[in-house]
Every structure is written in C-alpha cells, then in structure tokens.
A and B are shown apart, each in its own frame.
Chain A
Amino acid sequence: MHDVADRLAADIESAAAGAPPAPVGVDHLLRQGRRSLLRRRAALGAGTAAAALVVGGGAWALAPAGTTASDTTDPAAPPAGDPLPPDTLARYDADTGELTIAPGWAVERRLDDPLTGPAAADFAVDRVDDSVGLVLTSGGETVWLIAWYGTEGSGDADAIAGTITTGPGEDYESFAVFLEITAAEASDVRAGEWGHTAALLDTDGEVQVKPGWTVAERIDAPTGPGSVAVDVTDGKRHQWFVFEAGGGEISDVAADPADPRTPDASYADFQAWVDDVVGGLAANRTPDEGAR
C-alpha cells in the first residue's frame, strides 16, 4: 500500500509545483461567502425576526424616506396599519407599502433602498419594491435589520413583506458590513450582473433574459429533451444560445454574445448556427455521454 500512497503524494506534489495560481483571491471568496450567507439569511429570515427580541403589541408608522431620524421616532406617533407579528420590530405592509415599527423602539440610523430593485437570484421575491436598513434602539439594546417588501413574477401575485435581521449583540460595524454586502448584491443585479450574456436557462429549465431583451426566436429540444436554442435581442443586437439541462444542472453549452450579426440576421441564419452547434456537440461527445 505504501508504494502507491508514497508515489501518489510525490506525484501530486510534483503536479502542484506546475499548477496555475489560484484564480481568485481570498477577498473574492469572502465576498462570495458573504453573499451566500446573505441569501441564506434572506431565505430563512423572510417574515421573521430574531426570536430573542421581545416587543409589545401595536405599531406606529415610520415617516417617509428622507425624513430625519428624530422626525420618525416620536413614540407618540399614532398606531397605523396592522399590529406587527410577534417578535417583529419593523415591517412593511405589503398592500400599502407603509413601514411600521414596534413601539418603544427608536430609529438611530437608516439607509434607504439597500435592496430595492430586481432581487438577487435566491431572494424570496423577484423584485423588491421598497426596502430600508434600520438601526433600532430601545433602552440599552440595539438591533439592526432590513425591512423589505416586493413581488414575484409579473407582479400580479400578492406582495410579500419580510425582515432580515440578526439577534441582538451585533454592533454597528457588523450592520455596516451587512448593509454593504446587501446593497452590493442588489446593485450588482441592477447594474447588470448579467454582463455580456443576455440569456440563461434557470434551474426550472426556463429561459431567462436580461432586462430589456426579449426572445426573438426559439427552437425547442435541438439536442434532446431539456435543451433549447434561443435568439434574444434588445432591438439592436442579437445573441444566440443553445442551452442544455441535464442531471439537475444547467449547461449553457454555447453562446454567441459578441457575434457581429445584427437584426439583419434571419431565422434561417439562426437555424443554421444552431445546426452547427448541435453538430459540433455531437461530434465532440463521447459514446458514453451520447448514450445518456
């Protein structure tokens, strides 16, 4: 056994000596990790707050964005909207968009719209209609949270409201980092996390297109069940894709984002390109892959 083990160790070390450098730095991993953590919190925290928080019934309305904290923290402000759910310090009314805060809590700081806009892929809704980051204090206790509400799909569905928060004990520095990550996540989506690619196949097997783009042509199952070819356009440019979904994973096997073909390209051109891609895929596939 030692022969193989020793040789394996030596050969792996030797291979590592000629390996390319790691492609991403620790900062990138941290950012990715924070985003993943945020998405997890968003998924778990929608509509809930830290269980350790205990607040009374009733609620009062928070003044519109842009007012100062002192304007918004009058404990004598009249109750508005439905009472907050137990253990919830702040929450939007998904029907009216009105934000309410539990009585006895003051807004120490606020940041408007950290999440507002198209939502991150794993978020509870497709679009966040309004959001606010808040540092709330009561007595000696400080809590930070982001309240949001939004809609799924076309917006025909009922709006959903939720609160992302952590338990007491976190400091403002942590809150600032949290807001920074959250805002960066939303900003990336708004600024075009899509990058040059204008279409993708989501985990449900549906084609999603970048905002402002539409599917001009579509060929179903060019390489078999679950595959689709699309011609997407923003009215000026076209991109052509062949997507395959297999084994629960998505393979965007060919994309042509930089293709110089313009609206002059015809359906026949698109079809010919798809045929080329499909032929190339078949030629490059092993018999084992092709048999699946």
Chain B
Amino acid sequence: MIRDRDASYVEFVTTRRDHLRRVAYALCGDWHRADDLVQTALVKLYVAWPRVRRTGSEEAYARTILVRASIDESRRPWRRERPTEAVPDAPAAAPLAVEERSALLDALHALPPQQRVAVVLRHWLGLSVAEAAKEMRISEGTVKSHTSRGLDALRSVLDTAGA
C-alpha cells in the first residue's frame, strides 16, 4: 500500500537524513552539492523502497547511491549548473560563514575522488575492504591502494598541524 510505503519511508528519512547529509558532505565537501546528492539518493530510494526495506538495506542502498553519484559527478567535464535569472556579473557568494572548516577536511576534499571515497568508507564509516569495494565497484586491491594513499596524505596534514 502506498500509505504504508510512505510512512516507513518518511520514518527512515526523518531519522537518517542528517547522517546521509554528513556522508555526502564528506564525499563532496560542499553542503549544497551534498544536499543534491542526498535528494537524488532519497528519491531513488523511494522507488526501490519495498525491495530495499525487505532486505533491511535501506541505508546501504542510499549510501551506495551517494558514493557512486559523487564519483560519477567528479568525472564530469563540467559541473552541473542551474539557469539563473540573470547572468551573474559579480563573484559567486562566499562560502557560508557558519561552516566550520578544518585542515583535515580540506585535505580530505583535496584528495582524488576515489581516494577520498575509500578513506570515508573505510575509516569514517568503518566499512570492510570488501564492502567498500562493492560500493565503489572496484577491486579490493584498488580499495586498499586508494585508502593507503589517501591516509598518507591526511596523516601528513595531521603531522604538520601537530608539529
């Protein structure tokens, strides 16, 4: 029934959207793009909801969409932009002042996309190598190499900050 579908979906979105936003932000480094990614993932999740819910894989499904979409997006020659009411003749608005930046996050977001995703999945979300490989659609060996290189880069930032 559509009503049942909606109720359980709304419950999931209400409880897990904030976490998914954080995951998306960790993957892309921008809250607005993160919200686009999350919206895309949650709309796709709604379509697949009965099947995904039966298997109890709601969050994994949404996260996989986030991961793949963020990787796909990074491969685009140009980022998507929306039509504006007028051609901007002024610089884009400055980043949100309230947004807290850190050297570690800056370093994370400066990593090549695959390294960044591997680090986020393995060392923030705690996925196994096999799970990360499945979500990223790459081999386990490639996950290990991406993770290793990404971690080296982040550690150097921490070392510098701590020096």
Bound: A7/B84 CA distance, A: 38
How far does the alpha carbon of A259 sit from the alpha carbon of B9 in the complex, in Å? 42
Report A200 CB to chain B, min CB distance, Å.
8
Is there contact, CB below 8 Å, between B101 and A255?
no
Q: Which residue in chain B gives the minimum CB-CB distance to A248?
A: B76
Given contacts A30-B6, A30-B9, contact A246 B76 (CB under 8 A): yes
Q: Which of B26, B46, B96, B151 contacts A36 (CB 8 A)?
A: B46
- Beyond A15-B100, A30-B6, is A289–B43 a contact (Cβ under 8 Å)? no
Measured CA separation A14–B98 after assembly (Å): 11
Fill in one digit per residue for B18-31: 1 if any A CB lies within 8 Å of its CB, else 0.
Answer: 10011001100001
- Give the residue of B2, B83, B85 whose beta carbon is less than 8 angstroms from that of A178: B2
B51 proximal to A (CB < 8 A): no
Interface set of B (CB-CB < 8 Å, partner A): 1-3, 6, 9-10, 13-14, 17-18, 21-22, 25-26, 31-32, 35, 38-39, 42-47, 49, 75-87, 96, 98-102, 104-105, 108, 119-120, 123-124, 126, 151, 154-155, 158
Out of A5, A177, A197, A256, which one reaches B124, CB within 8 Å?
Answer: A5
Question: In the complex the two chains form, what is the Cα distance from A68 to B111 in whole Å?
Answer: 66
Known: A19-B21, A249-B76. A174 touches B81 (CB 8 A): no
Collect the chain B residues with CB atoms within 8 Å of residue A251's CB.
76, 78-81
Q: Which residue of B lies closest to A196 (CB)?
A: B85
B158 to chain A, nearest CB (A): 6
A21-61 toward B: CB 8 Å interface, digit per residue (1/0)? 01110100110111011001000000000000000000000
Known: A244-B78, A249-B76, A252-B82. A36 touches B158 (CB 8 A): no
CB <8 Å contact, B77 and A4: no
What is the minimal beta-carbon distance from B124 to any residue of chain A, in angstroms?
Answer: 5
A275 within 8 A of B: no
B26–A292 CB distance below 8 A:
no
Cβ-defined contact, B47 with A289, below 8 A: no
**Is there an interface contact between A15 and B83, defined as CB atoms closer than 8 Å?**
no
Determine whether the beta carbon of B124 is less than 8 Å from that of A19.
no
| Contacts known (A4-B158, A33-B46, A247-B77); A11 close to B104, Cβ less than 8 A | yes
User: In the complex where A4-B158, A11-B105 touch, is A19 in contact with B31 (Cβ < 8 A)?
Assistant: yes
Cβ-closest chain A residue relative to B105: A11
> Do A29 and B2 touch across chains, with their CB atoms under 8 A apart?
no
A258 within 8 A of B: yes
Knowing A22-B17, A256-B87 are in contact, say whether A12-B2 is a contact too (CB < 8 A). Answer: no
Where the two chains meet, the residues of A that have a C-beta atom closer than 8 Å to any C-beta of B are 1, 3-5, 7-9, 11-20, 22-24, 26, 29-30, 32-34, 36-37, 40, 170-171, 173-174, 177-178, 196-197, 241, 244, 246-247, 249-259, 273, 276-277, 289, 292
Seed contacts A36-B43, A258-B85; 14 additional CB < 8 Å A-B pairs: A3-B158, A5-B124, A11-B104, A19-B21, A20-B96, A22-B38, A24-B39, A26-B14, A36-B46, A174-B3, A177-B3, A178-B2, A247-B76, A251-B79
Measured CA separation A14–B2 after assembly (Å): 38
Contacts of A34 in B (CB 8 A): 2, 46
A249/B80 contact (C-beta < 8 A), A7-B104, A30-B9, A258-B85 known? yes
A19 touches B99 (CB 8 A): yes
Q: How far is the CB of A143 from chain B (nearest CB, A)?
A: 15
Q: Contacts A29-B42, A251-B80; is A9 near B124 (CB within 8 Å)?
A: yes
Query: How many angstroms from the CA of A19 to the CA of B96 in the assembled complex?
Result: 8
CA distance A247 to B108 in the complex (A): 25
Residues of chain A within 8 A (CB-CB) of B86 are 256-259
Shortest distance from the beta carbon of A30 to any chain B beta carbon, whole Å: 6
Q: Is there an interface contact between B84 and A18, defined as CB atoms closer than 8 Å?
A: no
Q: A12-B25, A16-B25, A26-B14 are in contact. Are A4 and B151 (CB under 8 A)?
A: yes
Q: How far is the CA of A252 from the CA of B146 in the complex (A)?
A: 33
Query: What CA separation (Å) do A252 and B78 show in the bound complex?
Result: 10
Say yes or no: A170 contacts B83, CB within 8 Å: no
Please name all residues of chain B whose beta carbon is closer than 8 Å to the beta carbon of A37 when the two chains form the complex: 46-47
